[in-house]
Amino acid sequence: MEVQTQTKPKSSIKKTIRITGAEALIKCLLAEGIDLIYGYPGGAIMPIYDKLYKYQDQLNHVLTRHEQGATHAAQGFARVTGKTGVVFATSGPGATNLVTGIADALIDSTPLVCITGQVASHLLGTDAFQETDIISISTPVTKWNYQVTKSSEIPKVIAKAFYIANSGRPGPVLIDITKDAQFGELDFVYEKCKAIRSYTPVPEMDINKVKAAAELINNAKKPFIVMGQGVILGQAEKELKALIKKTGIPIASTALGLSGLETDHPLFVGMVGMHGHYAPNIKTNECDVLIAIGMRFDDRVTGDLKRYAKQARIIHFEIDPAEVDKNVKTDVAVLGDVKVTLKALLPFVNETSHIQWHQEFKDLYELEYEVVIKDQLNPKKSGLTMGEVIEAINKYTKGEAVIVSDVGQHQMFACRYAKFTRTRSKITSGGLGTMGFALPAAIGAKMGVPDREVIAIIGDGGYQMTIQELGTIFQTKIPVKIVVLNNSFLGMVRQWQEMFFDRRYASTKMVNPDFVKIAEGYDIKAKRVDKREDLQAAIQEMVQSKEAYFLEVVIEKEDNVFPMIPTGASVSEVRLE
């Protein structure tokens, strides 16, 4: 009698191949759809780079001039695309040079997977050449990190890394791979990670909380929405527009939330925060219901927490439970994916307009325009202002460009005056406030959206922190545009010294090099403008250029950014001058 034996269908059999850990890593990246890496080679990661050479037709590796530049470039790429940025670095100083960018990515919720090489596992803990305990160093600034010491671990660890980095609230992950794990062989098979035990990236929505939020909104006389970057990260721009269209609620943005809603939307009232617009800051302490959507109540937004929106009922739409009630006590917290929770909210809210409440915002904007904005856009002073430079950029980009700003006065001017018509168009270092961010981040952003104009707006101080990345532009020919607003000062610190330290300008005056000559040394077309009559033509030439372009604009040395909420003050104490 013939015995029938069952065999698994061929489609269910996982095929394996025998390869090294280094090659396995490359194949993991390809399986995750990665085609772009930023990095800098060295001894401990050399086996990975050796295998990368074999796959260079499938993986584009961009050699930055510093590992910090690699992280910021990957951030810029991730922020404009929503994809996970990938970084390579070697052990020791290569790994430690990543830390600033990783910390920046964590606080600004940017998905990165950073791969570092490490000394061989038998040398761990011996203070071997270029050995640094990057796992301990990076633990506070990563969403997850892990050290691989066996080649067989690589596929599962990398799959887990990508899942964690870009699920729920995104963030950076660091994987440290010892050199022997890179050389060792394994039977390679790759499966994408779809779930991890005990890790819940998106909390389950409670429909009763949604209904409670709707009841507060429907009964509000003066409701006010503050949107953060969570709307962009959650791809909830459409749902947000539907909500404000139906409810007529005025809406403001945090700095990182900018471009999630077009700046000329009739319900958009500006930016909140230390250098935000006058009306939304004042009205925060006058609204009766404050609806926070995908934002974390940062201290630069709230000012003195003891005097922040105490008159209002607080509704918080948030994906990260750790952010709820951390700074501001909420009345209703709606946890979950904001795209899902806003869609669920829409049927329960009433159709309203709040015309008189809107007029109050408009009246305060007119006051701000007369005291602050008019003099920035149409200055009486002979020197150029940052505001008029941003306005000129608006004129020639029509709000379609990606604006990448560094940190300082120019950053706040860019946030206040740049116009946006498309989402994922305002890229800056928010929570960490990293000077040197913009130049490499703009390189990454341009590579992420090559069909869009990408303009880096940088101060003369921050520019020199990562100026070496001009070499990356020189080698790759990335047609990014760079505008340095040069006031020969560390402008933001100088403003504080002027206002609060009796003009004692301690260590803030900058003696700068010839920026135009430096750019030309990297074969980048460059121009310097110091007269108002030359500004428009220079901006137009820059925007129309098909190649990389550097424009230095000499501006007023003591031009301050207003409004301003002094440290420790209430949002109601925002100053116009």
Catalytic residue among 83, 160, 179, 446: 179
Q: Write the CB contacts of 436 (distance below 8 Å, at least 6 apart in sequence).
A: 68, 72, 406, 462, 463, 465, 466
Distance, CA of 437 to CA of 101 (rounded, Å): 8
**Residue 162 known to be catalytic:** no
* Nearest in space to 469 (alpha carbons), one of 501, 451, 444, 504: 444
Catalytic residue among 492, 497, 550, 552: 492
Catalytic residue among 54, 58, 129, 517: 129
**Residue 179 known to be catalytic:** yes
Q: Contact 364/387 with Cβ under 8 angstroms? A: no
Distance, CA of 275 to CA of 384 (rounded, Å): 20
Catalytic residue among 67, 131, 469, 552: 67
The per-residue DSSP string of 310-334 comes to TTSEEEEEES-GGGTTTSS--SEEE
**Residue 391 known to be catalytic:** no
- What are the Cα distances from residue 74, in Å, to 71, 120, 121, 383, 400? 5, 27, 28, 36, 22
Helix, strand, or coil (residue 210): helix
Distance, CA of 439 to CA of 455 (rounded, Å): 9
Q: CA gyration radius for the chain? A: 25
**Residue 67 known to be catalytic:** yes
**Residue 492 known to be catalytic:** yes
Q: Contact 64/442 with Cβ under 8 angstroms? A: no
Catalytic residue among 130, 235, 468, 536: 130
Residue 343 CB coordination number (10 Å): 17
Cα 386 to its chain centre, rounded Å, is: 22
Catalytic residue positions, numbered = 67, 129-130, 179, 492
